Structure 1
Amino acid sequence: MAHVSDLIASDIGEYLRSHEHKSLLRFITCGSVDDGKSTLIGRLLFESKMLFEDQMAAVEADSKKYGTQGEDIDFALLVDGLAAEREQGITIDVAYRFFSTDKRKFIVADTPGHEQYTRNMVTGASTADVAILMVDARKGILTQTRRHSYLVSLIGIRHIVVAINKMDLVDYSEKTYRKIVEDYRDFAARIGIEDVTFIPLSAFKGDNIIAPSDKLPWYHGTTLMGFLETVEIDEERMQKAPFRLPVQWVNRPNLDFRGFAGTVSSGVIQPGDRIRVQPSGKESTVARIVTHDGDLPQAVAGQSITLTLADEIDVSRGDVISIAEHPASSADQFETTIVWMHDEPLLPGRAYLLKIGTKMVRATVTEIKYQVNVNTMEHVAAKKLDLNGIAVCNLSLDRQIAFDAYADNRDTGAFILVDRLSNSTVGAGMIHFALRRSHNIHMQHVDVDKAARGGMKGQKPCLLWFTGLSGAGKSAIANMVEKKLHAMGRHTYLLDGDNVRHGLNKDLGFTDADRVENIRRVAEVAKLMVDAGLIVITAFISPFRSERRMARSLVEEGEFLEVFVDTPLEVAEERDPKGLYKKARRGELKNFTGIDSPYEAPEDAEVRLKTVGNSVEASADQVIEALRRHHILGPG
């Protein structure tokens, strides 16, 4: 009995070792609704012997339950795991499945076909080597076929299979197949897709999936599995690219060891190789390649390693270690393509967090150059980007990062955008190139700084940011605060919302996008005035928390005081000093805060002024007391 157990253990060990050395191909299935994506994956799982008896029994029972007639099995039910999907017969989420053959391991992402789930499709495609684009032979090339083709091209998937499915429903017609091939080649040429393989098949019947089908005698190309087992994968290609190691963490277990850990995204590295750390540009030589199992003579793309260097140079999480002869680039402004994935639109001027590799920085879309209509490939003007929108945008960061163009390296050229308030991922993007201005503009050192300017005035510079509804009393209170500070001999400047719109911001309206840009400009001006040593007072509705947080981030800790003039809407509307609420209620004034545009009240303002029952002077005294409390002013 022990001898039999040893044999079984030996067989299992040999099986696991054989899997360990197989290459891994990641691919996606995409296309329009009901083109057979899930059925194809289920068929691949079945044909590769990756199903247990209880799974087969369950899918046979489900096939009868959900409407399949006769003895045929509905293999889509193996993949469509959500109840909503089974009931509707569609795929909503991205479903990942693993299977293996004697030659290769596979991870497949079954992506949704509906237009409203474009973001899910982008998620599934982001790591894929191959895209299988499903086309229903009865319907030919559809709008969603073109949309997903463009996205696949955009994401940089180099190998595309156009799987012309349901050939059994068109009597395996060669004419139908040739017509679809001709139509798709014309479209692919317009968007720059070059590597396309066409395969006629029936996922439901199993034709041309594993073995050539005798029902397609006119087709002499590869089967689908034959293609998947032999196509070159990106991991093999990336080993030939220049070395890149995004630093995940600095490994310092004791005073005698300092290494830099991460996963090699491309290239090969060996001890003795000269490296450059970006964005600092400092160079050194690789001393050791350390892993849990001991030192390596070399490391290649895909391996997790720790590098030690011959010199003590400054390296931090988020830096990129490159081979010195072909280093990554560094910049803080880029042209990018962004795919928007959130219900709230992307607005130029709004600050987001950008994560690229292991680095997180603050980012602002400075310009939407054009939005792409993925149905017609037309470039259209846009002031904002809505859910599932795709646009070419200029992006500005608060510091330089190391990067490669996305076309050269997906890992160091792709990024995500994160909402600073909710920490939700709101967009994904690809870097095209650094803007020239990124390299031509540098901060100029000056000897007279903010501390010197403030010291000459005998005060600590700061930014008092008044926010609240129209009619809340912001301008009146801010004006009284400035009068009191002036009487105290303080150096101030008041930036009022209406006054600024007569000059600096006269080109802006009141849409959400224009409101964001209005506050961005004011915040930048206020930053310069704080640097001049002034106590700066602003009075703006500034309805969005994100923009107020952006303004706070522009000045140093302790220099920003948010003053929330907390007046109920009904009170502000009753005051209505400019008659704006009446116009808004009559529909004559669009995008008016509190009526048809939201106001996001501060959650933790330094000063909260309840104006009902309080005079303007009493409210101003509260602000002056807050300035003393925060050590902006000396004792009264």
Structure 2
Amino acid sequence: MMDLLRFATAGSVDDGKSTLIGRLLYDTKSLFADQLAAVEAVSAARGDDYTDLALVTDGLRAEREQGITIDVAYRYFATPRRKFIIADTPGHLQYTRNMVTGASTADLALILVDARKGLVEQSRRHAFLCSLLRVPHLVLCVNKMDLVNYDQAVYENIANEFAAFAAKLDVPDLTSIPISALRGDNVATRSAAMPWHQGPSLLHHLEHVHIASDRNLVDARFPVQHVIRPQSTTVADYRGYAGQVASGIFKPGDEVMILPAGLSTRITGIDTYDGPVAEAYPPMSVTIRLADDIDIARGDLISRPHNTPHTTQNIDAMICWMDERHPLAPGGRYAIKHTTRTTRAVIKNINYRLDINTLHRHETATQLELNDIGRIQLRATQPLLADEYRRNRTTGGFILINEASNRTVAAGMIMNT
């Protein structure tokens, strides 16, 4: 099975994120002829003397008119070595929530910096958010090197400054690459214009960065999404529990515990669309068959008997507030969706709002506004089967939903359980 790498782009406005993605799609021959023809036509109509590859992802009319990225645009491409899903996230401060959405599932984040401007506030903010969201790999792309005459000193000053800043964060893996997205330097292939750069091209790094060990293979967690009971008479006795492996490894014969019931049983088989498998690991979607007929429903969780998540109703979490209409305040009541379980929750307290410009100063707050990030306490009406986010991004993450409008109003990360 071919590897899949999810990565997000981040950076300030006009740093060239959309152009870089367009370049990656162009250089890997992932654009259809009509897509490319449309981009060339728009570029010509605007009077550009080059093909503006940013138009490949800036699909909204407002984005093209303003020259900015607003929505999170997902794009897909593949090379012989790996498949990729890109989340092109906005650079503007007011779209912090979109950036959080795009990076929350990413294995890697590209942080773009304009070589002429160096690190700016948004560069630091996005690096911090990637650290908060536990994105395992960061790549600093110093873009527009062609506009500084491919000066090695300019690149090294920016790379060293960013490395010093990243050292204050929890960044396990950092790589720096000088590029020109417009001209394609060091994007898909090494550039002759920068012989002093001894590292790989960006695409080579994306193809080879090691992500298998980023998965938590220790804590076995399988949130049940659906109970499968076929009506066919040929498989009348079949009962399976479908879902996606959040972490750990499951094999037929393993002893497992069903939560929250606390009952133990054994795995008799693991099925996929292509047939039975000898083991299941994240992020595989499988159906698990069990030896005993236990009452299991959506929202339950299968784990190891001696390694179970915490069962708790009181949640200490860091959240990003996403609702522009109504701020978050103590006493607010929302639906909370955690893995496959949905219940209700009430906000007990706001500990502080985080100043993501200074990173260190904690501001007292009575409410959280749009794009604010803060530490809160909430209580769920039913117990959640949770791990700390730093240990497990799946069982440690949740969203809050306004039940009246059905809008997602917050993304949360469980800090302590």
TM-score tier, shorter chain, comes to: over 0.9
The answer to whether the 8 A contact 1:372-1:380 is kept is yes
Instruction: Tell whether 2:162 aligns with 1:179.
Output: no
Per-residue Cα deviation, 1:463-491 (whole angstroms, up to 9, x for no partner): xxxxxxxxxxxxxxxxxxxxxxxxxxxxx
The structure-2 alpha-carbon separation of the partners of 1:117 and 1:67, relative to structure 1 and needing over 3 Å to count, comes to farther
Query: Is the CA contact 1:239–1:268 (under 8 Å) kept in the aligned structure 2?
Result: no
- Does structure 2 retain, via aligned residues, the 8 Å contact 1:336–1:431? yes
User: How many correspondences in the alignment?
Assistant: 411
Q: Compare 78-87 and 57-66 and name the one that shifted more.
A: 57-66
- Check the 8 A contact 1:22/1:104 in 2, yes or no: yes
2:167 counterpart residue number: 189
Say whether the 8 Å CA contact 2:217–2:281 is kept in structure 1: no
Task: From 125, 128, 140, give the equivalent of 1:150.
Answer: 128
Show the 5 A alignment for 1:214-253.
214-233=192-211, 237-238=214-215, 240-253=217-230
Which residue of 1 is the match for residue 48 of structure 2?
68
Gaps of 5+ in 2: none
- Which digits, 9 at most, give the CA deviation of each residue in 1:537-585, with x for residues without a partner? xxxxxxxxxxxxxxxxxxxxxxxxxxxxxxxxxxxxxxxxxxxxxxxxx
Aligned equivalent of 2:31, options 28, 51, 59: 51
Aligned residue number for residue 242 of structure 2: 261
Pairing 1:361–2:343 present: yes
- Which of residues 291, 295, 300 in structure 1 aligns to 2:276? 295
Distance 1:134 1:275, change over 3 A: same
Match of 1:284 in 2: 265
Evaluate the alpha carbon distance shift between residue 400 and residue 201 of structure 1 in structure 2; reply closer, same or farther with a 3 A threshold.
same
Aligned to 1:305: 286
Partner Cα separation in structure 2 for residue 61 and residue 258 of structure 1:
55
Q: Contact conserved, 1:320 with 1:328, CA < 8 A, in 2?
A: no
Greater strand proportion: 2
1:101 Cα deviation (Å)?
Answer: 1.1
Out of 398, 421, 431, the residue aligned to residue 414 of structure 2 is 431
Report the equivalent of 2:87. 109
Cα distance in 2, alignment partners of residues 224 and 151 from structure 1: 22
User: What pairs with 1:32-51 in structure 2 (closer than 5 Å)?
Assistant: 32-51=12-31
Letter in 2 for 1:57: A
Tell me the CA shift for residue 239 of structure 1: 6.3
Q: Find the aligned partners of 2:290 and 2:225 in 1 and give their Cα distance.
A: 16
Q: TM-score, normalised by structure 2?
A: 0.95
2:118 to 136, 140, 147: 140
- Aligned to 1:410, the other structure's residue is in SS state coil
Equivalent residue in structure 2 for 1:129, among 107, 116, 123: 107
TM-score (norm 1): 0.63
From 7, 19, 22, the equivalent of 2:2 is: 22
Task: Indicate the residue corresponding to 1:99 in structure 2.
Answer: 77
Identity of aligned residues (%): 49
User: Take 1:171 and 1:221, find their aligned partners in 2: how far apart are those partners?
Assistant: 19
Deviations 1:372-395 (A, max 9, x none): 111111211001000000001112
User: SS where residue 144 of structure 1 aligns?
Assistant: helix
User: What is the alpha-carbon distance in structure 1 between the residues aligned to residue 354 and residue 15 of structure 2?
Assistant: 25
Deviation at 1:331, TM superposition (A): 1.0
Higher helix fraction (1 or 2): 1
The equivalent residue for 2:358 is 376
* CA deviation string 1:319-348 (max 9, x = no partner): 110122322221111211110000110111
Partners in 2 of 1:108 and 1:335 — Cα distance?
31
Q: What is the DSSP-based 3-state SS (H/G/I as helix, E as strand, rest coil) of the residue aligned with 1:371?
A: strand
Asked whether the equivalents of residues 137 and 171 of structure 2 are also in contact (C-alpha less than 8 Å), the reply is: no
With 46-55 and 98-107 compared, the bigger mean Cα shift is at 46-55
Give me the whole-angstrom Cα distance separating, in 1, the residues matched to 2:154 and 2:389. Answer: 37
Shift of 1:259: 2.4
Shift, 1:23, TM fit: 0.9
Task: Give 1:142-541 correspondences, 5 Å limit.
Answer: 142-233=120-211, 237-238=214-215, 240-253=217-230, 256-343=237-324, 344-377=326-359, 378-434=361-417
AA matched with 2:70: I
SS in 2 for 1:226: helix
Q: SS state of the match for residue 150, structure 1? A: helix
Distance 2:165 2:279 in 1: 44
Rounded to whole Å, the distance in 2 between the matches of 1:258 and 1:80 is 46
* Greater Rg over alpha carbons, structure: 1
